[in-house]
């Protein structure tokens, strides 16, 4: 009898966490698991993705939850949207037919009014094995998705720097206590996507007593694969005879993505590496302000929002290197994709990046926030054609070994079976 697994995600193909969840789901499908995704907002045409919003009444309730969630956030929090999720608006899915038939419930996303703490408490009553795949830090903090150096989550939160009104017993501490009570009933099995997230989960007061295992994201190596660079550039309208540095993200204006540090590194190259700078062009996909683009001291090719994995793969293949200046990140899909396409990566040595980028083998890990070292990483790779060629080969081999769909699916299946009752 096939194992029935239901993944819970706010979206199916919108945003890094949703895309990662969808890829995990597809890897399990290919391994013979009866996997489904239950989402709040379905954007794909995939029949294995099921929307929880179907009737006109569902739609109305969905909008009420989303608006309520956003109003509470804007009232209580002072940072950009989605920096902190307050889990008070959500849908009771405990009577959903997929949930009733599930052997395993795997939670990926709960935000935007999809699942509240009350929703999770209802799932606990079903006495089914529940897994949390941690795509960010939300499950192990009161509500922030990345802690940005704050370590209040190690005890019980409080004095939250993201709140408009903070104090020892602010709402972050109340949420922390409420989460702890729900987790006690739910007893979630934890899957972290990077070793860094694993260590953070083990340090947190909310999850340190739970079973925790690291399983990386999978990538479809038949889509994200090396292709002829000149052909890729021609299709995207990019020049040959130049070193192309690729940068991309869902929203490059996000401070956590650290795009200003890339600009600083590029200015260092412009000022200190005159022998190579004439050959460098920058390629950007994602959303970024024109004023920011104007600060880059090199010719910039803007590709905008890219849809379709095949076209995204062309972007990596067109580039000589991919760069990410994320200041704190888990296991970004973009880096996995770049490696699978055989494109080396320059990144800061932070978060889950060392799980992906092997220094001087598949890229360069620069000192955090050091524009000088980041610039050195770019130049080190671009100025040594033999090193660049070796790195390209190493990138592809690493992706096939560490982020292989079959390997990841088997690791999930092994973990699921360990927890399932005999």
In this prediction, residues 304-328 reach a mean pLDDT of 94
Q: What is the pLDDT of residue 379?
A: 97
pLDDT at site 250: 53
Q: Mean pLDDT, to the nearest integer, of 87-96?
A: 92
**Residue 253's pLDDT is what?**
60
pLDDT at 2: 83
Whole-model pTM?
A: 0.94
Q: What is the pLDDT of residues 179-196, one digit of tens each?
A: 999 999 999 999 999 999
Residues 165-176 have a mean pLDDT of: 92
Domains and CATH numbers, the chain: 4-218+405-419 (3.40.50), 229-402 (3.40.50.2000)
Residue 235 has pLDDT above 90, yes or no: yes
| pLDDT of 335 strictly over 70 | yes
pLDDT, mean of residues 112-119: 93
Asked if residue 28 lies in contact with residue 409, where contact means CB atoms within 8 angstroms, the answer is: yes
**Which pLDDT value is given to residue 294?**
84
pLDDT for res 79: 67
List the alpha helices (DSSP H) in 77-116.
97-101
Inform me whether the pLDDT recorded for 22 exceeds 60: yes
> pLDDT band at residue 66, thresholds of 50, 70 and 90?
confident
Average pLDDT of the chain to the nearest whole number = 93
Alpha helix ranges (H) inside 135-245? 171-186, 195-203, 229-236
pLDDT-derived band at 215 (thresholds 50, 70, 90) equals: very high
Longest dimension (CA), the chain: 66
Q: What is the pLDDT of residue 77?
A: 84
Q: For the segment 245-273, what is each residue's pLDDT rounded down to a tens digit?
A: 999 865 556 778 888 899 999 999 999 98
**377, 344 Cβ separation under 8 angstroms:** no
20-24, 283-287, 309-313: the lowest-pLDDT one: 283-287
Q: What distance in Å separates the CA atoms of residue 10 and residue 136, rounded to the nearest whole number?
A: 14
Neighbours of 96 (CB within 10 A): 16
**More confident position, 157 or 305:** 157
**pLDDT band at residue 374, thresholds of 50, 70 and 90?**
very high
Looking at residue 99, its pLDDT comes to 96
Residue bearing the bigger pLDDT, 220 or 254: 220
Report which of 313, 286, 311, 317 is spatially closest to residue 301, judged by C-alpha positions: 286
Which of the residue ranges 201-205, 286-290, 406-410 would you say has the lowest mean pLDDT?
Answer: 286-290
Residue in 217, 224, 218, 221 with CA at minimum distance from that of residue 194: 217
Sheet holding 212-214, edge to edge: 49-51, 34-41, 4-11, 104-107, 130-134, 189-192, 212-214
In this structure, the chain runs to a length of: 422
Give 41's strand partners.
11
Q: What percent of the chain stands above pLDDT 90?
A: 77
- Of 55-64, 87-96, 136-145, 155-164, the poorest mean pLDDT is in 55-64
């Amino acid at each position: 009898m096939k194992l029935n697994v239901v993944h819970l995600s706010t979206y199916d193909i919108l945003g890094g966490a949703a895309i990662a969840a969808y890829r995990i789901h597809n890897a399990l499908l290919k391994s013979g698991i009866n996997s489904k995704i239950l989402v709040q907002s379905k954007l794909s045409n995939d029949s294995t993705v099921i929307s929880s919003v179907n009737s006109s009444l569902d739609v109305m309730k969905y909008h009420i939850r989303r608006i309520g969630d956003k109003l509470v956030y804007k009232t209580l929090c002072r940072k950009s949207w989605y920096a902190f999720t307050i889990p008070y608006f959500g849908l009771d899915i405990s009577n959903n037919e997929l949930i009733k038939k599930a052997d395993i419930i795997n939670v990926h996303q709960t935000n935007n009014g999809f699942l509240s703490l009350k929703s999770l408490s209802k799932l606990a009553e079903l006495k089914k094995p529940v897994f949390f795949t941690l795509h960010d830090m939300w499950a192990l903090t009161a509500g922030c998705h990345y802690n940005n150096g704050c370590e209040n989550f190690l005890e019980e939160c409080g004095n939250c720097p993201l709140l408009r009104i903070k104090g020892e017993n602010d709402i972050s501490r109340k949420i922390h206590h409420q989460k702890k009570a729900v987790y006690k009933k739910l007893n979630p099995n934890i899957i972290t996507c990077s070793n860094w997230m694993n260590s953070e989960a083990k340090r947190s007061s909310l999850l340190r007593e739970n079973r925790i295992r690291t399983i990386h994201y999978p990538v479809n190596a038949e889509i994200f694969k090396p292709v002829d660079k000149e052909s890729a550039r021609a299709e995207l309208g990019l020049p040959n005879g130049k070193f192309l540095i690729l940068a991309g993200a869902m929203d490059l204006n996000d401070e956590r993505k650290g795009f200003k540090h890339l600009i600083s590194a590029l200015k260092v190259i412009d000022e200190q590496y005159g022998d190579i700078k004439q050959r460098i062009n920058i390629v950007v996909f994602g959303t970024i302000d024109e004023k920011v683009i104007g600060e880059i001291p090199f010719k910039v090719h803007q590709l905008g929002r890219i849809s379709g994995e095949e076209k995204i793969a062309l972007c990596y293949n067109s580039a000589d290197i991919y760069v990410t200046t994320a200041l704190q990140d888990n296991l970004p899909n973009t880096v996995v994709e770049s490696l699978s396409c055989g494109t080396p990566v320059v990144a800061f040595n932070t978060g889950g990046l060392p799980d992906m980028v092997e220094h001087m083998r598949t890229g360069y890990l620069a000192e955090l926030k050091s524009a000088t070292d980041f610039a050195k990483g770019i130049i080190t790779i671009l100025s040594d054609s033999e090193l660049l060629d070796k790195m390209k080969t190493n990138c592809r081999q690493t992706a096939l070994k560490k982020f292989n769909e079959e390997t990841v699916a088997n690791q999930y299946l092994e973990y699921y079976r360990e927890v399932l009752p005999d």
